[in-house]
């Protein structure tokens, strides 16, 4: 299987590090809409796309983009293992919000035939399945962009607790998290005020929605992402990077690193 190359240790990220630090400093007191609006127009950010799963909370960013710049490219990763409800929701939102450049991103037929011909890869290697169906296709689609917008938020778990509005993803690409500081109550308020349609699975106990085989309902009191890869240490699909490497589990602390060393 062909996996994504990771950033080599010697890669020079000083220029993009400085640019991201300056962006975070400039926008540190801005609200989510202002961060998004300016990021879509700031030359220091570059050519931007929105990556959307059309999941439980996706409608917030999709609505913001539809108001600010409806022609923004929206990359929808269709793993071909999504819930039917997600596919229908994607069509509903595309029509309602009048987004004019939605691009469905899928794995190459040849890659699927080689690495997952019977569609069972997820049963014994979820990392490999995510790489095949999500990470590699998205990386290919992102090559033409300088930055991409995500819906990641601090409240979503330990791996996201310290994210900023802007992050370095690779030596040439930035990740933008306009909703980083939002909580669930902010999302709820925004959806109610703007009368936005909900993903139909939310009412059935799915606060975080991925592929059908790897997503289960969440019980009251559980972490919102507890239903993703339930029973496994895996917490991310791998489309998010730290230091050029795909995030597939909890991020080790400095103490953990010292103990491993």
Q: Report whether 111 contacts 105 (CB < 8 A).
A: no
184-193 burial, b for 16+ CB within 10 Å, e for fewer?
A: eeebeebbee
Instruction: Say which residues have a Cβ less than 8 Å from residue 171's Cβ, sequence separation at least 6.
Output: 7, 11, 12, 13, 15, 16, 244
CA distance 142 to 137: 9
The count of other CB atoms within 10 Å of the CB of residue 25 is 10
The verdict on whether 130 is a catalytic residue reads no
Cα dist from 59 to 11, 62, 63, 242, whole Å: 36, 5, 6, 26
Which one is catalytic: 129, 211, 214, 237? 237
Residues 6+ apart with CB under 8 A from 50: 61, 62, 65, 72, 73, 74, 75, 148, 149
Share of the chain residues as helix, strand and coil, in percent rounded to the nearest 5 = 40, 15, 50
Residues with a catalytic annotation lie at 237
């Amino acid at each position: 299987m062909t996996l994504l190359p990771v950033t080599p240790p010697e890669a020079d990220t000083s220029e993009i590090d400085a640019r991201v630090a300056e962006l975070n400093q400039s926008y540190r007191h801005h609200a989510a809409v202002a961060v998004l609006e300016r990021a879509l127009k700031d030359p220091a950010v570059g050519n931007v796309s929105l990556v959307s799963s059309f999941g439980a909370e996706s409608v917030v960013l999709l609505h913001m983009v539809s108001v600010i710049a409806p022609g923004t490219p929206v990359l929808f990763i269709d793993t071909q293992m999504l819930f039917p409800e997600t596919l229908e929701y994607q069509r509903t939102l595309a029509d309602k919000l009048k987004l004019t450049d939605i691009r469905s991103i899928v794995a190459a037929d040849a890659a699927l035939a080689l690495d997952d011909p019977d569609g069972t890869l997820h049963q014994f290697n979820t990392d490999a399945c995510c790489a095949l169906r999500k990470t590699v296709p998205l990386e290919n689609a992102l090559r033409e962009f300088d930055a991409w917008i995500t819906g990641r938020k601090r409240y979503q778990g330990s791996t996201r607790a310290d994210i900023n509005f802007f992050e370095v993803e690779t030596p040439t690409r930035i990740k933008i998290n306009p909703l980083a500081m939002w909580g669930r109550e902010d999302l709820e308020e925004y959806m109610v005020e703007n009368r936005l349609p909900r993903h139909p699975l939310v009412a059935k106990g799915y606060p975080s929605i991925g592929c059908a085989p790897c997503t289960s309902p969440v019980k009251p009191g559980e972490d919102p992402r507890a239903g993703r890869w339930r029973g496994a240490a895996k917490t991310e699909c791998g489309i998010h990077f730290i230091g050029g490497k795909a995030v597939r589990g909890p991020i080790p602390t400095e103490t953990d690193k010292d103990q491993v060393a």
